[in-house]
Chain A
Amino acid sequence: MDWGALQTILGGVNKHSTSIGKIWLTVLFIFRIMILVVAAERVWGDEQDDFVCNTLQPGCKNVCYDHFFPISHIRLWALQLIFVSTPALLVAMHVAYRRHEKKRQFRKGDQKCEYKDIEEIRRQRFRIEGSLWWTYTSSIFCRLVFEAVFMYAFYFMYDGFRMPRLMKCDAWPCPNVVDCFVSRPTEKTVFTIFMIAVSSICILLNVAELCYLLTKFFLRRSKKAGNPKHHPNHENKEETKQNEMNELISDSCQNPVIGFSS
């Protein structure tokens, strides 16, 4: 169990996302999770070992480290990534619930059900409308809130995004004000700024996606209000064609871990 499992889960949701959602997912995987695993973890790997205080007093280093780093940057990022990815699970659960209902209808032999077999239901991509629209929009809103909260927590806990070279500590049992030196402060500052920049890009993408969904919603409503004549057969055929096109261009990630796409 590691970031790969999260990638499998989110890959399943990718099928039902908008284009902006797919870009967001790509940015998340490549510029955040991958950077965290291959680079950032190594930079912070020796953070306490190489945190040095100008004193021989036992315990002073531990206490000063704990005072300046209540929670390590790397752990905060890991939590941020987990919380930001979790709302996508809501969408995955909703899609799984819809598939389950369609399978039930199919098994009952419902005449309204237009699928030929269970495999078709499994492979079908749902359009983001109706209740799925609300779930999807709520998930984007939750993501935005989590991103903002974590960025604020970073700023609040570390007084900005810069990692200083030297920290002055006078917590007990340090005898006086003691100079403590952080390991690799410049490298850590660079990565912190990088992660904050990518978080900001993700926030912008989420805001753009939210605006796109709201615009689509209001346009659809005004179209329905302006065009009272309803052609169900024509709309069904259009939907089927759209679904087929989406099948051809979308990913075919299966999700065996949670079983949400089955």
Chain B
Amino acid sequence: MSWEFLCDLLSGVNKYSTGIGRIWVAVVFTFRLLVYVVAAENIWKYEHDEFECNIKQPGCENVCFDHFFPVSHIRLWALQLIMVSTPSLLVVFHVAYRQNKHHNQRLYKSPGEIDGGLLCTYLISLILKTGFEIVFLVLFYKLYNGFKVPRLVKCNIRPCPNTVDCYISKPTEKMIFLCFLVATSCLCIVLNLSELSYLIFKYSVKCYLKRYIKRCQ
């Protein structure tokens, strides 16, 4: 089990997505997943080993690290990627359910065939994706007091005898990648909101035109 599963899931949903949805998938694959796997993971690999406090007191480093990093940036990033991709499962389940009902006949051969039921599911998945993105950004902000990674943190938790200076490894590099993460999250939020507006507008116009034609007849 690895990121391949997520890739397969998103590729499967791609078939039923609009143009903006496909751009979203491309952004998630290229700028988030790929950057995470080939670059970001290695930066945070030895974060605990390289976290150093100016003290010999056993246990002080462990306690301070745990205090300042309750959940590591990289784990939060991974959770965010998983949660943000999961609402797409709703669309997959919906299609599978409908195809099962119609005796495994292939439905929705093109994105233009998205009907009311699938459209609702798709819109819900978009809202959930956007919601998860915002929740994780807020969580990042609240947990780490912004998106900055300081070089030095001062710690005075037991068993540290006094206020102790603790040094974080590679703070600048971590901050650069955090900024990258925030920028790509914001881009994905913008794409989701654009897709939501586009779909709502398109289908409202369609509904309105249908009613107008019925009234004329």
Instruction: Report whether chain A binds chain B.
Output: yes
A244 to B55 CA separation, bound complex (whole angstroms): 73
Q: How far is the CB of B85 from chain A (nearest CB, A)?
A: 11
Given the complex, which residues of A lie within 8 Å of B46, measured CB to CB?
A: 48-49
Contact of B26 with A5 in the complex, beta carbons under 8 Å: no
Of A20-28, A194-202, A252-260, which stretch is located at the interface? A252-260
Q: A75 at interface (Cβ–Cβ under 8 A)?
A: yes
Q: B31 at interface (Cβ–Cβ under 8 A)?
A: yes
Most chain B CB inside 10 Å of its own CB: which residue of A61, A75, A107? A75
Of B4-12, B65-73, B89-97, B194-202, which stretch is located at the interface? B4-12
When C-beta atoms are compared, the residue in chain A nearest to B10 turns out to be A257
Q: How far is the CB of B62 from chain A (nearest CB, A)?
A: 15
Contact of A62 with B52 in the complex, beta carbons under 8 Å: yes
A63 to B52 CA separation, bound complex (whole angstroms): 10
Contacts A58-B53, A66-B151, A257-B11 given; indicate if A6 touches B170 (C-beta within 8 A).
Answer: no
Contact of B35 with A65 in the complex, beta carbons under 8 Å: no
Contact of B173 with A72 in the complex, beta carbons under 8 Å: yes
Q: A3 at interface (Cβ–Cβ under 8 A)?
A: yes
Q: B15 at interface (Cβ–Cβ under 8 A)?
A: yes
Mark each residue of chain B from 99 to 122: 1 if its CB lies under 8 Å from any CB of chain A, else 0.
000000000001010000000000
Of A78-86, A128-136, A235-243, which stretch is located at the interface? A78-86
When C-beta atoms are compared, the residue in chain B nearest to A41 turns out to be B42
When C-beta atoms are compared, the residue in chain A nearest to B61 turns out to be A58
Contact of B152 with A103 in the complex, beta carbons under 8 Å: no
Of B127-135, B161-169, B185-193, B206-214, which stretch is located at the interface? B161-169
**Chain A interfacial positions (CB closer than 8 Å to B):** 1-3, 5-6, 9, 48-49, 57-59, 61-63, 65-66, 69-72, 74-75, 78-79, 82, 85-86, 89, 93, 96-97, 100, 103-104, 107, 173, 256-259
**Chain B interfacial positions (CB closer than 8 Å to A):** 2-4, 6-7, 11, 14-15, 19, 22-23, 25-26, 29-31, 33-35, 37-39, 42-43, 46, 50, 52-55, 110, 112, 151-152, 165-173, 176-177
Can you give 30 contacting A-B residue pairs, CB < 8 Å? A1-B4, A1-B6, A1-B7, A2-B34, A5-B29, A58-B53, A58-B54, A58-B55, A59-B53, A59-B166, A62-B50, A62-B168, A65-B169, A66-B172, A66-B173, A69-B173, A71-B172, A72-B173, A74-B39, A74-B42, A75-B42, A78-B35, A78-B38, A82-B30, A86-B31, A103-B110, A104-B110, A257-B11, A258-B26, A258-B29
